[in-house]
Every structure is written in structure tokens, then in C-alpha cells.
Amino acid sequence: MSKICDNENKKDDEDKNDDGNNKDNNNKEVDIISDLISEFNISKKSIQVLPLPQYNRETELIKICKSFENQSIVLYAHFMGNIIEFNDNNIIGNILENIFYPIIKKTITDFEQGPKQLSPDYYANNREFEFEQKAFINKLRHK
């Protein structure tokens, strides 16, 4: 009796492909895709992958941004005799945009600020390129 069960399980496994899906279902999916390609008269040769445009001052921008790495920026507020350290990514990100933008703009003149509180943080090349700045807090410092 166990041999029958083993053979049945083996047969079931043979009907499945590597990802565990039924081979017949995959063939149907392939047939449907093939039918769609035929219906729209699309050939693999006619599908063209277009390259993504690349910002022409990318190397300079990367160099400037890398110069910010490992720099220590600590932001505090003095309020009613208390010193309060900012440790919220959103607050710090907004402040850093104001700090970094003039430094970047000095070298890369086509750089523009994006809209306040919206994406993107910066534009370049007449708004052809959009950039987002991300701020991360050093969690080790806050332990």
C-alpha cells in the first residue's frame, strides 16, 4: 500500500515544475502570452529596451555627496533654558536640504531646489532629472 502512495506522490511531483506549479497551467500561460504576442504582431526582435538617460554631471554630484559622508552634524534647539537635540529623520532631512543645496549649487549650476515638503528635493538639467535626499540618524550615538 505504501508503494502505491509513493508512486502516486511521484506522479504528482512529475506533473509539477521546479517552482511547485502544475506544468499544464504553465503551458497554458505560455500559450496565452504567445497568442497575445501573435495577436498584436509583436516579435522579440521588435521589442527594444531604451537606455535610461544619465545625468551629465553625475560624477561631480557623486563627488560632492561623498564629501558629506562621515561628517558630524548635530542639530540642537535652545528653548526656555533647555537644549533639545533633534533626532527625527524628517526634521533633519529638511534642514539638511537647506545646508546641502547651496554647496551643491555652487559647483553644479543647473541644480534647482524642489518644492518644499514635496518630492523631489532637487531638480537638474531643466527639471529633466529629479533627486531625493535621504537622512539617517546614527543610532549608535543615541544609545
pLDDT at residue 102 is higher than 50: yes
pLDDT at residue 63 is higher than 60: yes
Q: Choose the weakest-confidence range: 33-47, 59-73, 95-109, 115-129.
A: 33-47
What SS3 string covers 26-79? HHHHHHHHHHHHHHCCCCHHHCCCCCCCCCCCHHHHHHHHHHHCCCCCCCEEEE
What pLDDT shows up at residue 141?
Answer: 57
pLDDT at residue 7 is higher than 50: no
Return the percentage of the chain with pLDDT > 70, whole number: 62
How distant is the alpha carbon of residue 79 from its chain centre?
38
DSSP H or E stretch at residue 98: helix 89-107
Confidence grade of residue 9 (pLDDT, cut at 50, 70, 90): very low
What's the whole-number average pLDDT of the chain? 76
pLDDT at residue 114 is higher than 90: yes
Q: How many of the other CB atoms lie within 10 Å of CB of 111? A: 20
